Structure 1
Amino acid sequence: MPSSTTSDPSGLPAELDLRSLRRRALQVIAILGGVGLAALLMPGLGELRSKLADAAWGWLALAVVLEALSGMSYVLMFRPVFCRLMSFRSAMEISWSELGMGSLVPASGIGGLALGAWVLTRDGMTPEHVAERSVAFFLLKSSVNFVAVAILGVVMFAGVGPHESVLLTLLPAAMSVLLIAAVLGIPRLGPGAEPGPGAGRVRRGVSRGRAVLIDGVAAAITIARRRDPLLLLGAFGYWAFDNAVLWATLHAFHVSVPLTVVLMGYLIGQLGGLLPIPGGVGGIDGGLIGTLVVYGAPAAGTAAAVLAYRVVLFWLPLLAGAVAFVSLKRAIDHPGRPDLCREATTPRTAAPAAAATSAGSSA
């Protein structure tokens, strides 16, 4: 939900204004630069430096292309969830702006959804609808990961790929199934008791958050049951191409691990992105490196590959998102762009038309 505090005439929330975004960008660049300098200068990291110098640039170029395809898959998901009648251009601008924001804000892309919420409420969609659909979008986007881990864990335990223990196969699979079941059961909780007139701010906020979560999960289930081809293709593509970026950077540094290990390590490692660190830098990196090494990948090559993976995931969405965001700001409230959100809001000409009809009936 967008903040009521604004910092520019367009109504952009203070936490999303250009000055704040520049500061976040500088923070992430500084962290990435620090990691890179440490790899280049610290003693005892000679093998890592050797791996970085020996990178296969063709594989790194492929990683950039795969990340672009992952971003386009995100665009495909956007309209089926938020507004089916939105133009592809507007969906591109909002989606890439969100992805660019996700490079700067931690918590697995939730910060990017806040930017999309601001745009959609500016265009007339109700805050309640935006909040519900934002929850649904996040769940649908994330669900592919957990379904994949549930399947992969069983497949790996059955002997496909390297032999791994129950802790590294069935346990992650079981945890994914339990989490999916828990999420699907959320609507059964019900909205709970309404806070009374004298309820405090925290209690009202908790009650509102519970209602949004329940409505969002219910919306995600309803949307998934439609089996919209664009939604299914986008959700799968976003997950698959992002995994493929990691696969490509591993090959760039001559690290050969089974695909099942890449896929399993991806989700477990991505949990580090939930840590409140600018851009998730450090959380995702450490999680990915640690998980892949536990599954048998070599430490030095994996560290180099993950560092390259994070650089691609930072710069491409950030640069493409910056261009999209500039275009998006110009489009908001522009009379030639009434297409940002036509499905879930009253058309801008509807109110005058209704008034005219009413006046004609009265006459």
Structure 2
Amino acid sequence: MARRRVADQTLVFLMLTYIVYMSALVICGFGLWFGVFRGPDSFALTVVPALFGLTVIVVGLLCSAIPTDLQRRLDGYAQRSGRVGRIAQRLANGPAAVSAGIRGAWVHVRQGDPALLGSIAYWAFNIMVLWAAFHAFGGAPPGAVLVLGYFVGMLGNLLPLPGGIGGVDGGMIGAFAAYGVDIGTATVAVLVYRAFAFWLPTIPGAIAYFQLRHTVQRWRDERRQQRAAELAAATA
């Protein structure tokens, strides 16, 4: 596949995945604050995460107004401005790609693509694993608290740690403790959740990765053989 197509489709995937994340922050955060859901109504624990999610959504919508060919439109400026213009042109590729990703995601939403249910299912099944872990060690917190604590804790992925190892675990435990969940129960539940949802899939994932490397190498060998055969046929 062409690199640009891979990049565009990956961005569409990320947009469709994380819009569920941000929407959950908004719904559960404001829901707890206004008393729609059962749980704490502290401003810092409810409204702040909700405003964060809402800000990300609004910024994303604004980015969709950026032309997807912004880099090409800066050709003239890059030629006139020398090195500064060329740097600006390269930097423009980022927001243009984000805009293309958001527009591509919106096409799927507008068409009612049933595959969109996968975005919800991905997060829902993860949270259900965490819910089961809590029940195994004393009981889960209210639904909105479970969802909000999960997503607030997932912000630990922003820490510069490989795979979010340690950051997500600590973030979730700290988030649930802040929401009034017993820290001992939260610690063991989060660690069990991470074992099932993160560590166990790593094993078949690593095996599949090395198998894929062999497969890709076989594809390359087949393409080289095909080109050699075509060249031999053309010169015969």
TM-score by length of 2: 0.80
In the other structure, the counterpart of 1:189 is 66
In the other structure, the counterpart of 2:10 is 134
Rounded to whole Å, the distance in 1 between the matches of 2:94 and 2:39 is 43
Structure 1 residue 322 corresponds to structure 2 residue 206: yes
Residues 97-176 of structure 1: matches in 2 within 5 Å? 125-159=1-35, 160-176=37-53
Residues 336-351 of structure 1: matches in 2 within 5 Å? none
In the other structure, the counterpart of 1:110 is none
Are the equivalent residues in 2 in contact too, given 1:255–1:297 (CA < 8 A)? no
Q: CA deviation at 1:143?
A: 1.1
Rounded to whole Å, the distance in 2 between the matches of 1:196 and 1:320 is 47
SS at match of 1:138: helix
Identity, % of aligned positions: 35
Higher helix share: 2
Residues 304-319 of structure 1: matches in 2 within 5 Å? 304-319=188-203
Are the equivalent residues in 1 in contact too, given 2:16–2:116 (CA < 8 A)? no
Structure 2: which 5+ runs fail to align?
231-236
Q: CA deviation at 1:137?
A: 0.8
Structure 1: which 5+ runs fail to align?
1-124, 339-347, 353-363
Structure 1 residue 272 corresponds to structure 2 residue 153: no
TM-score by length of 1: 0.54
Rounded to whole Å, the distance in 1 between the matches of 2:94 and 2:40 is 43
Counterpart residue identity of residue 296, structure 1: G
- 1:295-352 alpha-carbon deviations (Å, 9 max, x no partner): 11011121122222222233222112123223323433657xx9xxxxxxxxx9xxx9
Per mean C-alpha deviation after superposition, the further-off stretch among 192-201 and 178-187 is 192-201
Are the equivalent residues in 2 in contact too, given 1:265–1:288 (CA < 8 A)? yes
Are the equivalent residues in 2 in contact too, given 1:265–1:292 (CA < 8 A)? yes
Q: CA deviation at 1:142?
A: 1.1
Residues 18-29 of structure 1: matches in 2 within 5 Å? none
Q: CA deviation at 1:202?
A: 4.6
Query: What is the aligned counterpart of 1:246 among 130, 147, 156?
Result: 130
SS at match of 2:153: helix
RMSD: 2.4
Structure 1 residue 287 corresponds to structure 2 residue 171: yes
Q: How many residues end up aligned between the 2 structures? A: 213
- 1:39-67 alpha-carbon deviations (Å, 9 max, x no partner): xxxxxxxxxxxxxxxxxxxxxxxxxxxxx
In the other structure, the counterpart of 2:184 is 300
Bigger RCO of structures 1 and 2 (CA < 8 A, at least 6 apart): 1
Are the equivalent residues in 2 in contact too, given 1:272–1:283 (CA < 8 A)? yes
